[in-house]
Each structure stands twice: as structure tokens, then as C-alpha cells.
Amino acid sequence: MKIGIAGTGRMGSAVGARLLDLGHEVTIWNRTAEKTRPLVQAGATLAATPAELVTSADTIITLLTDAAALRQAFAGSHGLLEGAAPDKLFIEMSTVQSETERELAGMVRAGGASFIDCPVGGTVGPAREGKLFGFAGGDEADLARALPVLEQLCRRVEHVGPVGSGASMKLAVNLPLFVFWQAFGEALSLCGPLGLDPARLVGIFSETSGSPNALKARGASMIAALEGKKVSPVTFDVDSIRKDLRAMLAEARSLGLSMPVTERTLDCFNQAAHDGLGTSDCTMAPAHWLRRPHGADQ
């Protein structure tokens, strides 16, 4: 297949590497050219503009930071929409509000092309192994066109409704995980007086009902953070969590909902970023909470 990828950050690069490994012709574009270098060295073709990317591919995957970046890539000068011919299929995989996905779908469909939103659960490792979880929103016919690609990236794809539904589902799925990282830091503070080894502590939590699957998957990173080591490579950073939490709260406001726990979680992650952890792996956040000055109000 001829596949284009707009956005080669951590996830976009992992998706691109997976598709190259499977023998697809991959063309890439990114606002920061430096981030395209590893994929180019692996065999991807570099497009100078988003419009050029579309002309080189039949299926275009977008994995960009936020709504502003998406609008610029789609509708800006030499944007994706310039090549949005009826034979093109857009798979939008960014984590944004459902409203953004519906807006993009309207622009793409106005040009005759097809569009689904399919943000994914999982980080860099699952992306490289084709073990993501896709949350798809769109028409049945468009999803059927997308499945040959999505099934090579995802262990499971759920069609959850029309365009925008995938975005809503992704925000909902991520919310309890982000709250967990903060709650885990608070739980660890209760264990402080016990003086337990970090590996033993994480092992205990990971085998109890108070732990999500993420703690088992990220246990080694969590242990390293508790031992005072810098977690590397970074797979999902604190700033990304803050961005997604803001999107969750905006989505809730659009639905007339109140989410006080989410609001407080964002406050805590904002403080962690203020303390210098913005680009650090999310597993650093619980350890940071544990080590903050006693009585400090975040």
C-alpha cells in the first residue's frame, strides 16, 4: 500500500516504522524536519509539504499534537486538503476533542475524500508491534477501507459510532489512567514510612485490585523512577497528559458535565510540569509527588 503519515513524533514514528517493516511504501511529513530523519533512513520518502504527501499516498494517517496543528496541516498553505481527491482515505489518529474530528471530516468530505477518526490506546512499544487498540468513528464503508491498515497496527479495532466517536472514546479511556498516576503517587506517600524497596512495592501494587494493567506494563519504568533514575526512553510525557486532560475537560464542558477529579488531576500535573517534569515520562509523576516537600500544596 502507499501510505502517508503526517506527524512523526514518538507515535507517528513508531507507526511509520511498523508499516515500513511490513513492506508498505511510506511517505512522511512533519513540521519539524529533524524528526523525520530516522524514518527516512529506514526507507520512508520525505514530502516537502502536506499537499505533496497526499499526492504520494492512497491512505493518509495523521498523528499531530493538537487541534491547532491539525487545522494548519489540513487547511494551511499547501495543506492536506489540496490533495483530498475522492480516491483518498484519511485516518485521523490524534488525541483531540470529537468536535475537531467532525470539523476535519466536513472539510475532507467536501473535497470528496473519505475520513474516519481512529485514535489508539497504547504507546510506542505496542505501536511497533502492531498491538494498539483502535477506537474508530465513521461510516461503515470508510472503516472497511481503513481496516487493512488498522488491523496491521492494532490488536483490536472497535467501531464506536460516527465520526468523532473515536475521539470521545479515546479521551474516556485515558482519563482513569491519568488519574491513576496521580493517585498512585498519593498511595505511595502512605507507604513511605514502611521503607520498602521500590521493586517490591511496585510488585505488591501490581498484583492487587488497586492497579491497572498499565502498572504491570510500565512497572520497570516506575521502579526506576522511584529509585531516582531518569526514565528513558520517554514513551508518554507529562506535557502530553496535560494536553489530553485539557481536551477531556473541554469535551466535558461541551456536554454540560462536571469532572472535579479530572480538574484536580490537571492541577497536579501542571505543578509537575512547573517543577521541570514536562518532557519527562509519565511514570516520573508519582515519584515526584512522593518526593515533594512535606506539606507542599499542589
Q: Region 243-249: what's the mean pLDDT? A: 97
Q: What does the pLDDT look like over 143-179, one tens digit per residue?
A: 999 999 999 999 999 999 999 999 999 999 999 999 9
pLDDT at 290 over 60: yes
Residue 176 host element (H or E): helix 165-191
Q: Coil, helix or strand for 182?
A: helix
Q: What does the pLDDT look like over 7-23, one tens digit per residue?
A: 999 999 999 999 999 99
Instruction: Using a pLDDT cut of 70, give the percent of the chain over it.
Output: 98
pLDDT for 214: 85
CA distance 175 to 198: 26
Q: Region 236-252: what's the mean pLDDT? A: 96
pTM given for the model:
0.92
For 122, phi then psi, to 5°, come to 125, 165
pLDDT at 103 over 90: yes
Those residues whose C-beta lies under 8 Å from the C-beta of residue 194, and which sit 6 or more positions away, are: none
CA distance 70 to 92: 9
Q: What does the pLDDT look like over 191-207, one tens digit per residue?
A: 989 999 999 999 999 99
pLDDT at 295 over 60: no
Contact 287, 275 (CB under 8 A): no
pLDDT for 192: 87
Delimit the domains of the chain by residue range. Answer: 2-163, 168-291
pLDDT for 67: 94
pLDDT for 292: 81
Contact 93, 119 (CB under 8 A): yes
**Measured at the alpha carbon of residue 172, what is the angle toward residues 230 and 127, in degrees to the nearest 5?**
50
Q: How many other CB atoms are found less than 10 A from the CB of residue 130? A: 18
- What's domain 2-163's architecture? 3-Layer(aba) Sandwich (3.40)
> pLDDT-based confidence at 294, cuts 50/70/90?
low
pLDDT at 296 over 70: no
Instruction: Using a pLDDT cut of 90, give the percent of the chain over it.
Output: 88
The b-or-e profile of 219-233 (16+ CB within 10 A means b, else e) is bebbbbbbeeeebee
Q: Would you tell me which CATH number, out of the four given (2.60.120.10, 1.10.530.10, 1.20.1090.10, 1.10.1040.10), belongs to the domain 168-291? A: 1.10.1040.10
pLDDT for 90: 98
pLDDT for 297: 54
Q: What is the mean pLDDT of the chain?
A: 94
